[in-house]
Amino acid sequence: MYSFGSHKLRSLKSFGVSGVLSEKADVFYSTTFSTRYIGAISDLLSARMKKSGLNELKLRALLLLSSFQGYRGQFKKRRGIQLFSRGDLDLLDHPIFLECGIDQEKIAIGVCFVLKESLNLNSEGISERILANTPQDPFEEMLVGLHYYADRIILKFQSDTRKAEVIALMAIEGKIASLPGQSQEPLEFVLLNRDHLESTPQPRAYYNLGDLDYNKALKKDHKEMSIEISSTGDFLMPSDHFESEEEIPLEVEIPQVTTETQEEIHLDLQSEEVIPEVHPVPILEPTHFGIKSFWNRFKDRIRNFLDQFFNTPEPLMEVIETAEVVEQEMEDLQLSEESIESESVIEDSGNAGHIINRLMMDLRVGAINQLLLRSSQELKEIRKGIRNPKIIHWIEGILKTVHSERSHLHSLAKGLERIIRFNEKNSKEKLLALHEEIKHKESQITVKTQALARTREHLVEITGNVERLKIASQASALDANYKKQFEMTQKMLISVKNENNQLKKSLAEKNGDPVVSQNEVDEPLEKSMSAINSGEMRKSLDGALKLVKDYKKEAEIMKARCVTLQKREVKMKIELTQLKEALEKKAL
């Protein structure tokens, strides 16, 4: 019977590591589709099993090699169309099963997989080959590696289903004599078939790795980060007044309240002035009625407390509770705090400065302060009745603690107030600077707008001038045109005049009419010639054009007359010839 350690292996003819472990074994398992997270798994298992004193290097090596053995033994490249496509082609179609079991003396690491068809497992002589370190194929090479780190190696194979399992056994140090380096025991090969397959023996418990408190396990050795106070001292923020840490005097003088002290209490956080030095803040002298009522109310309770003190082991808590009750009662009595508070303290809780102000007021003259003073006053009375100095000491200690806490709170409030004032100051300065910048920019804007207006006006002027010049240039151009036209019309006039004269001459010669004098024609020309200037050019031109038209009309009329005269001449010639012929005939 195959054995390893003091316990016999329960079953070799079943799959699972629990068969090679005792009934008290815990088995941790994980299903995986790749070798990607083997590192994380080995981290977790190493952390989980650290206390068992295992060899971590061996454990991690065996986990890694087993995982790759299973993965490579099962992985086959996909061919054909996949119904559900896989983004990662290195993933297995179905998982391999990793188990790590631990009992009292050993650890078993097993990987269960289905051997792919392309891998032929040559079971004959496999144990000898692994022992002799002469593997035949990559599958056996991995077995050699496993064999090196493990104390025992078991290979199970079910030929009909090709289901395989490799189990590496590792002795817990000190429990089983383990061999250094390579194990001397050969690989145990177990051939299984469906008929003789046994059911897996039950371990104590199965644990999915996800059920482990992995966060805690993996961070087990890390201390929680905390910053402790330096050994060279805890430096506090600077203060502008002395913090009194003196003991509270048992006999406290209670000064009378005056209006002057009320003004001293005033704290103005809004102003930029330096805060004046804080004066001792007086309180209202408690009335005789107040002390009596307080004593009457609490004397029984204090006496009860004293009676209990001799019997109870921890009277301190009761003292604290009593003090708290007293404080509560005092608040209920509604002592005249309002008369002490400054008028400038605004009740608006929205303003941080006012809140700080109120806090400081409360610390100085509020319930805590009154409690302290009253307590110290009452203690004076109580001392007379109490014989045990421990009680007195304890009460005094509590009062000291409360006083020191109050001082601490006060210093914190001061610090906070300083910070607030500093921030307020900064923000005010920033605001002022921003206002100035705004003003400066506004002035720049006004200057620029003025300059812009001026340039616009200038532009308007310039455009006006340009327009005028344009007009002028256009006018001069017109003048030139007019000049040309005038010269042309002049020439036309002259030619028309000459024609006209000729016609008139001919007409006059025919009819004996007086010839139109040249002067009547030249005078308007001379007039127009003499009137050639830029201002009257147009008028003269118009006049000239009119004259030309008139002369043209006259010329046409003359022409028409000439034509008629010529026709008449022709007629007359014809009549003359007829007359001549008639005369000749008659003469004959």
Partner 1 sequence: MEFSRKKLPKEDLSQLYRVRIETIQPFALMISPAYLYFKANEKFVSVKGPLDFFTPPEISRLKKFKYFYFPSFVASILPFREAGQKVQALLSCSDAIVESTSENPFPAIRLAPPSYEVADCVLKILGPLWWEYPNQGAGIEPYLVTIFVNELCQLLPEGQLLLGREKDVEKLDHALFRSSWVVFLALHLGYCDLNFLNDLRLRILSENMNDTAPVRYWNELDELISLSYDSLKNTRVRLIHANFFSDRSEKIAQKLEARLARVLSHFMSKGSQPPSIFGKRGFIDV
Residues lying near partner 1 in the complex (CB under 8 A): 15-16, 18, 29-33, 37, 40-41, 44, 83-88, 91, 93-95, 97, 112-114, 158, 161-163, 199-200, 202, 205-212, 214
Element (H, E) at 344: none
Q: According to the 3-state scheme, what is the secondary structure of 257-299?
A: CCHHHHHHHCCCCCCCCCCCCCCCCCCCCCCHHHHHHHHHHHH
> Could you tell me the smallest distance in angstroms from the CB atom of residue 225 to partner 1?
23
CB closer to partner 1 out of 95 and 290:
95
CB closer to partner 1 out of 29 and 68:
29
Whether residue 346 contacts residue 355, with contact meaning beta carbons closer than 8 Å, is answered with: no
Residue 499 backbone dihedrals phi, psi, to 5 degrees: -60, -45
> Could you tell me the smallest distance in angstroms from the CB atom of residue 52 to partner 1?
19
CB closer to partner 1 out of 97 and 298:
97
CB closer to partner 1 out of 13 and 408:
13
Q: How far is CA 401 from the centre of its chain?
A: 46
Residue 243 backbone dihedrals phi, psi, to 5 degrees: -90, 120
> Could you tell me the smallest distance in angstroms from the CB atom of residue 88 to partner 1?
8
Give me the sign of the Cα torsion angle 498, 504, 507, 512.
negative
> Could you tell me the smallest distance in angstroms from the CB atom of residue 190 to partner 1?
16
Mind giving me the DSSP string for 495-525? HHHHHHHHHHHHHHHHH-PPPPPHHHHHHHH
Q: Compute the CA torsion angle 81, 82, 85, 91 (nearest 10 deg).
A: -120
CB closer to partner 1 out of 163 and 483:
163
Beta-carbon contacts of 428 under 8 Å, excluding residues fewer than 6 positions away, are 272
H and E: helices and strands count for the chain: 13, 7
CB closer to partner 1 out of 99 and 341:
99
Smallest Cα–Cα separation from 361: which of 297, 305, 405, 406? 406
CB closer to partner 1 out of 96 and 171:
96
> Could you tell me the smallest distance in angstroms from the CB atom of residue 200 to partner 1?
4
> Could you tell me the smallest distance in angstroms from the CB atom of residue 239 to partner 1?
46
> Could you tell me the smallest distance in angstroms from the CB atom of residue 32 to partner 1?
6
CB closer to partner 1 out of 215 and 533:
215
CB closer to partner 1 out of 191 and 431:
191
Beta-carbon contacts of 421 under 8 Å, excluding residues fewer than 6 positions away, are 269, 353
Mind giving me the DSSP string for 115-167? --TT-----TTHHHHHHHT--SSHHHHHHHHHHHH-SEEEEEEETTTTEEEEE
Report DSSP state, residue 222: P
> Could you tell me the smallest distance in angstroms from the CB atom of residue 208 to partner 1?
5
Distance CA 496, CA 552 (A): 7
> Could you tell me the smallest distance in angstroms from the CB atom of residue 404 to partner 1?
47
> Could you tell me the smallest distance in angstroms from the CB atom of residue 1 to partner 1?
23
Residue 338 backbone dihedrals phi, psi, to 5 degrees: -65, -30
> Could you tell me the smallest distance in angstroms from the CB atom of residue 100 to partner 1?
12
CB closer to partner 1 out of 32 and 127:
32
Distance CA 115, CA 122 (A): 12
336: helix, strand or coil:
coil
CB closer to partner 1 out of 208 and 566:
208
> Could you tell me the smallest distance in angstroms from the CB atom of residue 33 to partner 1?
5
Beta-carbon contacts of 588 under 8 Å, excluding residues fewer than 6 positions away, are none
Q: How many residues are recorded in the chain?
A: 588
CB closer to partner 1 out of 37 and 68:
37
Tokens of 67: 């995982």
